Amino acid sequence: MVFTIAACFELPSGAAAAASAAGLAAATASPLLRLGGAAAVTISTPGVLLDESGAAELEESATVRPGAAEVLRQLLSTGGKGPAVYLLTHVEGDVGEAVVRGALEHAGLVGPARGQLPPHRLLFCSTPEGKVSIVRQVEPDVHFDAQWETIWELQRFMKRLVYVSAAGGDVPGQASSNVQRTASFAGFFGR
Residue 176 to residue 174: CA distance in whole angstroms: 7
CA atoms within 13 A on the CB side of 179: 23
Percent of the chain with pLDDT over 90: 68
pLDDT per residue as tens digits for the range 160-169: 999 999 776 5
For residue range 50-61, list pLDDT tens digits in order. 999 999 999 999
